[in-house]
Structure 1
Amino acid sequence: MTDGRLEEVIRTIGAPRILVVGDLMLDRYVWGDVGRISPEAPVPVLRVEREENKLGGSGSVISNLACLGSEVSCCGVIGDDYHGGLVTAELEKLGVGTEGVFTVRGRPTGVKTRAIACAQHVVRIDNEDTSALAGDFEDQIIAFLSDIMPTQDLVIISDYNKGLLSEHFARQTITLARSHDKHVLVDTKSDDVTKFAGATTITPNREEAERLTQTKLDSRENMQQAARQLMIDLDLDFATITLDRDGVALCSGESFEIFPTHPVEVYDTTGAGDMALSIMGFVIAGGYSVEDAVRLANVACGIEISRVGVSPVTREEIIARIKEMHHLIPSKIKTLAEIARIVEEARRKRRRIVFTNGCFDLLHIGHIKYLQFSKAQGDILILGVNTDESVRRLKGPSRPILDQTHRGQILSAIEWIDYIVFFGDDTPLELLRVVRPDVLVKGAQYSRDQVVGADFVESYGGEVRLAPMVEGISTTDIVDKIRERYRNTD
């Protein structure tokens, strides 16, 4: 597959109708800082800074699909409690109907609470009931599935082994879907995978596949043997095994292939399995091949594991990563939406964000010293660069000398710059409101009162620092010298 083809696939998928059946849960994140050990016991004391609620379990798959633009229907159970109300509210925010969400009195909604400090998980607390549902409840849910199944393009089963997917219910769901010629993709935490026999595929990770097949996946031969065993034993159309850093193994018919990942810095593997399942379902429901689905799942999972916590991945982010992987655009150049995501992650990891801006037309030693100083003020340097149009407004109709494409590519080669974002306003004030840097750097030719955004940055505790300037050199001086030197030459 060409790079352009992969981008075309994710761009052109419409809004496939996907039914997600599985264990609905609430994921609670408690973000804070650990500065001491408790005097009561040898455990860290977390000072809470903020809290966040997200859909968990099968809800994670639902969130991923909704973010991609799929028309999602869901089926699962919640308790008649406060947390069940939060799950329902989160579904409604995504525009997902709750007709298939059944309330079980006396059964708590599953909640996983994760405490996180400095991008590290401190503890996880689970509150759940994993007992099987009563038979009459299963009958109600199956009746709902019978009504909705003909309208769906694909079914995803997300089984966290929390009591919903009994052997009877799982078999009934798969039989019903296949009778309507619907693909069924399954991800399960259960050791009893035989109840999912007849599905299109299941998507175990390396550890799960080793346990299910009693095969150590330490060689290509063993991976192929395990995948083929799953496909034959469970009567699957194809078998997929996610292999963390090694990519995804796909066994289909007589063919076997391992699709490698693009190397990324891994921060948190939570949610990677759900992301792979979501992307594969989305692509296959959109009418594309299994191979397309696996390749795109690899790309999306690479984005997911480079973040802290679980969050959906957009089509735009996938397209940008594809271009980065194949050097179609400099990887440092980001959109405003991407920068917003980057700074959110950086703050979670307690990294010090530095921002500066300028036209950077015809780079010279003054620019290099300035950028070196800026990077030294923190961990991440984000550079705001004026677009061509804004440079013309600021510098006159003869500028810039180099257009923004060339300026962006040249700046991308400078090691001290982490990210570049273009802005078209005359000042970077709106960009600053998104970045909210810890440090704002400008040249010492300005006074503190002349620095645009200084009051804003200092209002939340940020700092303004003035970089020493290299005397006697500027882009304007260079342009004037060139004009003077070659004024009378042919």
Structure 2
Amino acid sequence: MNSSYLNFKEKHILVVGDVMLDRYWHGGTSRISPEAPVQVVKVSDVEDRAGGAANVALGLAKLGVKVTLIGIVGKDENASALQTCLQNENVQCRFFHSDSLPTITKLRVISRHQQLIRVDFEEDLSSFDHRSEIESLVQETIADCDAVIFSDYAKGTLSGIQSLIQLANRHSVPSFVDPKGKDFSIYQGATLVKPNLSEFELIVGHCSNTDELVEQGESLRKEFGWQALLVTRGEDGLMLFEENKPPFSLATAAREVFDVTGAGDTVIAVLASIFVTSKRLTDAVEYANQAAGYVIGKLGTATISSEQLEAIMFARSRTTNFGVLSPEELLEQIQLAQLNDEKVVFTNGCFDILHPGHVTYMKQAKALGDRLIVAVNTDASVKRLKGDKRPINNLEHRMAVLEGVGAIDWVTWFDEDTPKEIIEALSPDVLVKGGDYSIETIVGADHVLSCGGEVKVLTFVDGYSTTKIIEKANL
């Protein structure tokens, strides 16, 4: 990972395209309407987010890039709400305000983290002649930019995109296109075009295997004079076709797909940002892939900061991300995980003889967060607590067995009689203990709570005990 790629301080990227307001109504559902067989949502919160090309601009701003956004909005309250969302994140808005068109708005009703319905408010922007206004705004801005992103959602803002691409080429400004529709000839001469697989196959036809995909990708890139073509393939990853280079493919970086909304926006934003600092498309694609894997694990349109992206890329470059780590190595990984908005759970014990009760306990502990740490008493610590005949298994043996438990991400050790010092050093988000404890009697609870974390008590599964196993073996 090259951290200089993430230095966007002096970079300026222009975004042109279909801007939208994403509005979310959040509320609980507890009954069915007497009027129709539908759920009744009691709205408790209204949230406005930037959508479409505006989400691309927001993603760039979150990375630390200077951003100018050009698009069409109405003269309405939704336009004001959208502009507020963007200006709060330092996006410079150069909107054309139409007297006759509404601001494109997508209203989503959310309950219990599930989207129940989406309602769209929009009209076809291409039915109104606004090309000269958009071109004038681009002409005023583009000479000062390091790149331009054309975010096409087929709403009509980019009906004159060919002249805009030519304008970018005359100013030697690389252009990145997120395309839509059945006619890719309108993107002739762009630096890079990024369709998803469905959009790509709408143009070239179904590709039944990778060889067909490669053949059609190279052909399409050459036909329209693009420096590069990037096809995003969902769970199959990404494939880059670049002039005078063999195809470059990457497996998806997604761990869990929660909501794909805005993933394409993230890819194009990170792609352009990394390219203007590195000038290497393969590096840009690697960063974009990791960023997309992050945002699709979030609800709704999500963004990623340069710090989060750096943390992800750094962790990816390490060979000792998981398993048995020293407390010092583990602290570094915890900080990276927390920067990535992952909740870290901590528990501890001797775990001399691992039994099914322990495994069930670990699964329950892991369910409380994203990453689970198990800290193990050293042999000397166990002897002080349990007597000279313990432990039955040495520290390396015990940690190796724990490392093999699927629910556990990290295993570490501590030599003190209690885990107080290691808890204070690692500062997990959730501290878990099993047994008949109260929160007040759990070692380290006060520190975790003072840091804004949680403390949980879980009950061990009845019928399992290390002491009873040892007693039975002695018989």
TM category, shorter: 0.7 to 0.9
Matches within 5 A, 1:201-350: 201-213=192-204, 215-262=205-252, 264-325=255-316, 327-331=318-322, 334-335=333-334, 338-339=337-338, 342=341
Identity of aligned residues (%): 27
Offset of residue 75 of structure 1: 0.8
Name the structure 1 match of 2:98.
104
Residues 1:415 and 2:417 are matched in the alignment: no
Name the structure 2 match of 1:84.
79
Question: Deviations along 1:236-283, whole A, 9 cap, x unmatched?
Answer: 122221111222222223434141224533222222211221121111
Name the structure 1 match of 2:368.
380
Name the structure 2 match of 1:143.
136
Aligned to 1:67, what secondary structure does the other structure show? helix
8 Å contact from structure 2 (residues 11, 276) kept in 1: yes
Offset of residue 52 of structure 1: 2.4
Which residue identity does 2:226 align to in structure 1?
L
Residue 13 to residue 94, structure 1, CA distance change in 2 (3 Å):
closer
Matches of 2:448 and 2:216, distance apart in 1: 61
Residue 42 to residue 447, structure 1, CA distance change in 2 (3 Å):
closer
Matches of 1:428 and 1:408, distance apart in 2: 21
Residue 180 to residue 315, structure 1, CA distance change in 2 (3 Å):
same
Matches of 2:189 and 2:195, distance apart in 1: 16
Matches of 1:128 and 1:107, distance apart in 2: 8
Which residue identity does 2:98 align to in structure 1?
V
Matches of 1:424 and 1:182, distance apart in 2: 57
Matches of 1:73 and 1:327, distance apart in 2: 36
- With 154-163 and 109-118 compared, the bigger mean Cα shift is at 109-118
Matches of 1:420 and 1:311, distance apart in 2: 32
Residue 461 to residue 357, structure 1, CA distance change in 2 (3 Å):
closer
Q: How many residues of Structure 1 are paired with residues of Structure 2 in the alignment?
A: 431
Name the structure 2 match of 1:397.
none
Name the structure 2 match of 1:171.
162
Name the structure 2 match of 1:45.
40
Offset of residue 454 of structure 1: 11
Matches of 1:420 and 1:66, distance apart in 2: 38
8 Å contact from structure 1 (residues 14, 70) kept in 2: yes
Residue 62 to residue 335, structure 1, CA distance change in 2 (3 Å):
farther
Residue 424 to residue 305, structure 1, CA distance change in 2 (3 Å):
farther
- With 446-455 and 294-303 compared, the bigger mean Cα shift is at 446-455
Matches of 2:172 and 2:308, distance apart in 1: 32
Normalising to structure 2: TM-score of the pair? Answer: 0.76
8 Å contact from structure 1 (residues 317, 338) kept in 2: no
Residue 364 to residue 231, structure 1, CA distance change in 2 (3 Å):
same
Q: Which runs of 5+ in 1 are unaligned?
A: 1-5, 345-353, 387-406, 473-490
Matches of 1:235 and 1:471, distance apart in 2: 69
8 Å contact from structure 2 (residues 8, 65) kept in 1: no
Q: Aligned to 1:19, which of 11, 14, 17?
A: 14
Matches of 2:307 and 2:421, distance apart in 1: 23
Which residue identity does 1:245 align to in structure 2?
E
Residue 220 to residue 363, structure 1, CA distance change in 2 (3 Å):
same
Q: Aligned to 1:67, which of 57, 62, 70?
A: 62
Residue 335 to residue 449, structure 1, CA distance change in 2 (3 Å):
closer
Offset of residue 194 of structure 1: 2.2
Aligned to 1:77, what secondary structure does the other structure show? strand
8 Å contact from structure 1 (residues 370, 467) kept in 2: yes
Residue 239 to residue 375, structure 1, CA distance change in 2 (3 Å):
closer
Residue 383 to residue 408, structure 1, CA distance change in 2 (3 Å):
farther
- With 463-472 and 71-80 compared, the bigger mean Cα shift is at 463-472
- With 297-306 and 25-34 compared, the bigger mean Cα shift is at 25-34
Matches of 2:411 and 2:57, distance apart in 1: 32
Matches of 1:409 and 1:86, distance apart in 2: 55
Which residue identity does 2:138 align to in structure 1?
L
Which residue identity does 1:78 align to in structure 2?
V
Matches within 5 A, 1:469-484: none
Question: Deviations along 1:159-194, whole A, 9 cap, x unmatched?
Answer: 111121113xx1221121111101111112233332
Aligned to 1:139, what secondary structure does the other structure show? helix
Residue 363 to residue 292, structure 1, CA distance change in 2 (3 Å):
same
Offset of residue 102 of structure 1: 2.4
Question: Deviations along 1:11-68, whole A, 9 cap, x unmatched?
Answer: 4555421100111111123344545543322333334454422110001111211122
- With 85-94 and 46-55 compared, the bigger mean Cα shift is at 46-55
